[in-house]
Structure 1
Amino acid sequence: MTELYATAIFVFTLFALLGGSVWIGMALMGVAWVGMELFTSRPAGDAMVTTIWSGASSWTLTALPLFIWMGEILYRTRLSEDMFRGLAPWMRFLPGGLLHTNIAGCTIFAAVSGSSAATLNMVGKMSIPALRERGYPEYMIIGTLAGAATLGLMIPPSLTLIVYGVTVNESITKLFMAGVLPGLVLAGLFATYIIGWHYFGKGPRPEPEPRMSFGTMISESRFLVPVLGLVAVVIGSMYMGFATATEAAAVGVLGALGLSFLQGSLNWKSFSVSLMGATKTSAMIALILMGAEFLSLSMGFTGLPRAMAALIESYNLSPVALIAVLTVFYLVLGMFMDGLSSVVLTMAIVEPMIRAAGIDVIWFGIFLVVVIETAQVTPPIGFNLFVLQGMTRHEISYIAKTAIPMVALMLLMVVILVVWPELATWLPDNIRQQG
């Protein structure tokens, strides 16, 4: 009964604060404060200061602002134009043509940016005008871009996986490894959808691209070398055990600065704008994590996480049934809240459940990212939908309809992960890593 009373208070306070347009991080702190005052005699102020400091001073968390800054630097260079130019010669012969540049471009840029929004902006600002000019259907341009941009959440470095790893105290490098194969499989599903549209879809097809000699194709590919080199250095250094996630992030920042300098696009304005953009994003995420850390402590005093875990356990749900329930839960939650907030808000309750059910925490992180990816392109609060609306000026309803096939493919990816969990666990179990 006490747990039910505590749950009602927590939920009411949270929705009251969020409904009052209070920042998510501050709302979490407010809920935690109320819980501390009602359910424990420990001074709330002292507990908040101690918990917030310990949560914000995690060494693992230092990788977060560095990866964000790396993405910001690259976003403000000519990398997107060069990427499209380098990819186009190799995509032209595939069924579906240059639509595959949306998938390939997002996959590559996801490996140098941990953000879905940054990936969407980076690839979209070049591919949308180029594909429109060549006569590709608007619904295919927008739909494939909406889905493929979510790869920024899974393919390392992923900001969501960093936050998840910090929250559940798991190795960031292992989580990064776990995201590679599922990310590539999901990209393959998106590409298969384009091929299926080419052969079975209705409507006209764009004119075939003009022929290009093999030598010209090789020559154009040189524009891909800088970003592929950066991916190899950043990701490879982690997987080969030469660097931790934080050290690899620092190398990535230096590499991004070097690339932008060689491109001639590094000046004081681009440097300062990228640094301020990274600072703002990092501060926002840090505030949410601070609030979540304090909320976890407060909820611990109520016994709510343990009671919830015990309740789920009493139903004797199989791991598959529990995953099905959590899939629906996170999809509904993701319709009203961004992915990072969903992770930090729920882990205090969900983590004991999955551990009690014997579900691998590394695997669950990848599952969680796929479900959160899906929520990024579902209304009413599908963040990628809003980004695409700003880029294309279409109605949200139209953009959401174009993304429906991609949502179906992401849900299929959840099924694939359940059937073949080794897809997420094989790399971290078999590759040597450091830290």
Structure 2
Amino acid sequence: MEILPLSILLVVVLFGLLATGLWVGFALIAVGLVAMVAAAPAPPGPVFATKVWGALNVWDLTALPMFIWMGEILYRSRLSSDLFRGLAPFTRRLPGGLLHVNVLGCAVFAAVSGSSAATTATVGRMSLPELARRGYDRDISVGSLAGSGTMGFLIPPSIILIVYGAATEQSIARLFLAGVLPGLMLALLFSGWIVIWALMNPTRMPAAEPATTGAEKRAALRLLLPVVGLIVAVIGSIYAGIASPTEAAVIGVLGALLIAWATGGLDRQAAVQALLGAARTSAMICFILMGAAFLTVAMGYTGIPRALAAWVGEQGFSPNWLLVALMGLFILLGCFLDGISMVVLTVSVILPMVLAAGIDPIWFGIFLVLVVEMSQITPPVGFNLFVLQGVTGRNIFDLARCALPFFLLLVAAVLILMAFPAVALWLPSTMMAR
């Protein structure tokens, strides 16, 4: 079959299966099977078995369930209340006041979770009721949380960076280092917008709260010490060369269990639920990786990636225009697919084009995660919006409207990263050169 008709057939089959509600992993396997039958001389069964075993038998992936489990434990602990009470004294006098707790709380929890949805849910279940009680505008409260929750995908340890690294055979440690400065940049952009919004809308802000005393700040710091210690133990052990990402994930689980036990926030039932939640999420991701691995080899037989890369090369696109086109593609896909599915579905087709354009694969991983973060707040399939819908009961499109300024800030972050690649590459090139 010719490449163009085959490409159209595969796209129709994929979105047709997804529209029926079939699990993404099984949809990818089905599309791979169609591609193999239509274009490959090899038998699909042995190819499927060999490729799936090779894709899942990767040592770096063992960190994945451990980091997911760590986030599940902390989600069910008292960390969210401790985060709010620990950060509030340092933000209440800033323009925007306690709205900054959404940004800082999400940044901190992202550094011990790796999940966007878990970050949004953990911070939101404490901050939103408290902000509403104190008279903060509901739209900016929800919007700032929706946008800030996306940092769970970027700030290490990031689950999606582990998936990208395993799929592209890139160093997980380098990807984690590359995500640090862009994550901090994103937090600054979000907080900066909150400051601007508060100064432009003083009537929608509550009355200024009293200044924080030294005793209150010291008490707040004590509440933050456990989570800061966990961040240092997990991320610091990787950067110092003491532990691999997998070993650091084990340290994180032990630290999370210790924090939950010390604060009395995790009983036996919650511990079982955390373990089951981690198992379900890990199994879901593994099914997606299985389907993507099979689809990748099937697409190789069809010749579609090579033809697409050759076509892009013939058009003479500059690297920046290629990235702009990819950003538009991912924004469109984000309306229908979750972030991990987007990465594993597209990376095998896109990476040859990216490498041919001379783009660093580590930098592209951060670019990809930033663009995928947009999908978390784009309806109708925006996971952060689903989480907030469960917390607030508001319509998902209304929540998307509240999150729109933060979506535009994510676009700005991508453009900054394109203009200044060193934002992502400086730290790994400096730290890993030692």
**1:267 alignment counterpart:** 267
- Structure 1: which amino acid aligns with 2:261? F
- Structure 2: which amino acid aligns with 1:198? A
Structure 1 residues 332-351: Cα deviation after superposition (integer angstroms, max 9, x where no partner): 01111111111111111100
| 1:216-365 → structure 2 map (5 Å cutoff) | 216-365=216-365
**2:142 alignment counterpart:** 142
Structure 1 residues 9-38: Cα deviation after superposition (integer angstroms, max 9, x where no partner): 211221222122211100101111111122
- Structure 2: which amino acid aligns with 1:72? E
**2:189 alignment counterpart:** 189
Offset, 1:2: 2.1
- Structure 2: which amino acid aligns with 1:431? M
Structure 1 residues 47-102: Cα deviation after superposition (integer angstroms, max 9, x where no partner): 11111111112111111100000000001110100111111111112111111000
Confirm or deny that 1:405 pairs with 2:408: no
Offset, 1:433: 8.1
Confirm or deny that 1:123 pairs with 2:123: yes
Matched residues in 2 for 1:80 and 1:330: separation?
A: 31
Matched residues in 2 for 1:195 and 1:378: separation?
A: 24
Deviates more, 1:61-70 or 1:13-22: 13-22
SS of the aligned residue for 1:65 comes to helix
Offset, 1:202: 5.6
- Structure 2: which amino acid aligns with 1:298? A
SS of the aligned residue for 1:203 comes to helix
| 1:72-87 → structure 2 map (5 Å cutoff) | 72-87=72-87
- Structure 2: which amino acid aligns with 1:116? S
Kept in 2, the 8 Å contact 1:134–1:207? The answer is no
Matched residues in 2 for 1:87 and 1:265: separation?
A: 19
SS of the aligned residue for 1:241 comes to coil
- Structure 2: which amino acid aligns with 1:235? I
| 1:81-230 → structure 2 map (5 Å cutoff) | 81-201=81-201, 203-230=203-230
Offset, 1:421: 0.4
**1:388 alignment counterpart:** 388
Kept in 2, the 8 Å contact 1:241–1:433? The answer is no
Matched residues in 1 for 2:176 and 2:352: separation?
A: 22
- Structure 2: which amino acid aligns with 1:86? G
Number of equivalences = 434
Q: Alpha carbons of 1:362 and 1:154: their partners in 2 closer, same or farther (altered >3 Å)?
A: same
Matched residues in 1 for 2:392 and 2:433: separation?
A: 42
- Structure 1: which amino acid aligns with 2:407? V
Deviates more, 1:277-286 or 1:20-29: 20-29
Offset, 1:203: 3.0
Matched residues in 1 for 2:83 and 2:276: separation?
A: 25
Kept in 1, the 8 Å contact 2:93–2:211? The answer is no
Matched residues in 1 for 2:253 and 2:431: separation?
A: 25
Offset, 1:267: 3.0
Matched residues in 2 for 1:410 and 1:229: separation?
A: 29
SS of the aligned residue for 1:265 comes to coil
Matched residues in 2 for 1:87 and 1:28: separation?
A: 43
Matched residues in 2 for 1:427 and 1:210: separation?
A: 39
SS of the aligned residue for 2:37 comes to helix
Percent identical residues: 50
- Structure 1: which amino acid aligns with 2:401? K
SS of the aligned residue for 1:179 comes to helix
Offset, 1:268: 2.1
Matched residues in 2 for 1:17 and 1:397: separation?
A: 25
Gaps of at least 5 residues in structure 1 are: none
RMSD: 1.3
Matched residues in 1 for 2:158 and 2:357: separation?
A: 26
Offset, 1:153: 0.6
Kept in 1, the 8 Å contact 2:72–2:278? The answer is yes
**2:37 alignment counterpart:** 37
**2:377 alignment counterpart:** 377
- Structure 2: which amino acid aligns with 1:58? V
- Structure 2: which amino acid aligns with 1:414? V
- Structure 2: which amino acid aligns with 1:41? P
Structure 1 residues 339-370: Cα deviation after superposition (integer angstroms, max 9, x where no partner): 11111111111000000000111111111111
Q: Alpha carbons of 1:53 and 1:433: their partners in 2 closer, same or farther (altered >3 Å)?
A: farther
Kept in 2, the 8 Å contact 1:89–1:212? The answer is yes
Kept in 2, the 8 Å contact 1:120–1:146? The answer is yes
Matched residues in 1 for 2:115 and 2:76: separation?
A: 15
Compute the TM-score of the two structures, normalised by the length of structure 1: 0.98
Q: Alpha carbons of 1:386 and 1:425: their partners in 2 closer, same or farther (altered >3 Å)?
A: same
Matched residues in 2 for 1:365 and 1:69: separation?
A: 24
Kept in 2, the 8 Å contact 1:14–1:28? The answer is yes
Kept in 2, the 8 Å contact 1:91–1:100? The answer is yes
Structure 1 residues 287-321: Cα deviation after superposition (integer angstroms, max 9, x where no partner): 00000000001010111111110010110100001
Compute the TM-score of the two structures, normalised by the length of structure 2: 0.98
Deviates more, 1:157-166 or 1:377-386: 377-386
- Structure 1: which amino acid aligns with 2:230? L
Structure 1 residues 230-262: Cα deviation after superposition (integer angstroms, max 9, x where no partner): 001100111111111111111100111111111
- Structure 1: which amino acid aligns with 2:170? E
SS of the aligned residue for 2:98 comes to helix
**1:56 alignment counterpart:** 56
Kept in 2, the 8 Å contact 1:240–1:432? The answer is no
Matched residues in 1 for 2:182 and 2:295: separation?
A: 32
